[in-house]
């Protein structure tokens, strides 16, 4: 529970959208980012893939440390 997976998109050194495993969905930080977040959040398979990344990547590396 102490692990959080964060995946961010940047444009011109400004964060526009972020997926956080603790939130469980994408959040937009700009007008364009909000539109993209709504789209990504509506794609159930992509959202499930992002949620599973915490289990497959993060926890796998922590267990090996």
12-42: per-residue pLDDT in tens?
999 999 999 999 999 999 999 999 999 999 9
Query: pTM here?
Result: 0.81
Percent of the chain with pLDDT over 70: 91
Which tokens belong to 35? 């539109």
Query: 25: number of CA atoms within 13 Å, CB side?
Result: 13
- Strand-pair partners of 27: 18
Domain residue spans of the chain: 6-63
CB 29 within 8 A of CB 17: yes
Helix (H) or strand (E) holding 14: strand 14-20
Fold for 6-63, please state it: 3.10.320
């Amino acid at each position: 529970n102490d692990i959080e997976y964060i995946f961010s998109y940047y444009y011109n050194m400004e964060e526009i959208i972020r997926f956080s495993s603790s939130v469980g969905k994408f959040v937009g930080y700009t007008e364009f980012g909000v539109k993209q977040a709504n789209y990504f959040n509506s794609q159930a398979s992509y959202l499930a893939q992002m949620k599973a990344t915490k289990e497959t990547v993060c926890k796998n590396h922590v267990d090996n440390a």
